[in-house]
Every structure is written in structure tokens, then in C-alpha cells.
Amino acid sequence: MQPATDHLSATFQALADPTRRAILARLARGETSVSELASPFKMSMPAVSKHLKVLEHAGLISRSRDAQMRPCKIEAQALKQADDWLEEYRRLWEQRLDRLEDYLKAVQIQAKTASAEAPKAANRKAKEKNRGRKK
């Protein structure tokens, strides 16, 4: 069995190509034949076959044999593992954004307090200045 990072590397490498993502999007609707998967693309069958091999190697699809047809289907478990890995970072960034939000609220409160205190401080200075003139 390969380490998780090797599996994730293969998964993300497979997902890096827009053609392979389009193939997965089509397979998300249900099992289909290789020729049907190839039909929207302007490429040869061997090129489509290479894309399918990359997806199969990453565990994102499986192929079976039904007489002359080789139907493909999506394997959701491989995507689940990638999603689980991404979820760790999603939580990390949510925590960081929550801390940033708390900090910004504190800064805003501090700014409001300072702006509310500014006229009072100006009045105190003016009164002190006026007292100095009366003497």
C-alpha cells in the first residue's frame, strides 16, 4: 500500500488536467463507455485512453469489461480522501479568519472609543487653556 501522500499526489496530479476533470464530471452522472467519454473531446482514442489510465491509477475511476464495451465509473472514495485532506486546511483557515475577525472587531471598538474620547479631551485642553489665560 502506498503512503497517503503518494495517493494524494496521484489524485491531485490527475485532477490538475481540465480534460480529466471533465471526464470525472461526466462520470459523476453515471457509468458510461469510453467512446461516449471521448465524444466531446477533439482528441484521439489513444489520448483519451491515456487520460483514463491516469484517472484509474489515481483510483478516481474503475473500468470493467462488458462484452466489447469497457464501461467506466467514478470511484468516490479517492475523492473523499482528497476532501478529507483539504478539510484539515479548511478548518485551519477558518480558525485564522475567525481570529482575524475578532482582532478587527477589537480594533474597530478601540477606534470608536478613541473617537468618542477625542472631543472630551479637546474640551479639557480648551478649559485648561482658558484657565491659564484668566490668571
**CATH number for the domain harbouring residue 55:** 1.10.10.10
The grid coordinates of residue 2 equal 502506498
Instruction: Share the mean pLDDT of the chain.
Output: 87
pLDDT beyond 90 at 131 = no
Amino acid at 15: L
pLDDT of residue 60: 96
pLDDT of residue 123: 75
In a domain, 133, yes or no: yes
Pairwise CA distance, residues 72 & 62, whole Å: 6
**Residue that the C-alpha cell 485551519 belongs to:** 92
In a domain, 83, yes or no: no
Q: Which string of DSSP letters, residue by residue, matches 22-34?
A: HHHHHHTT--B-H
| Domain tally, the chain | 2
The grid coordinates of residue 26 equal 461526466
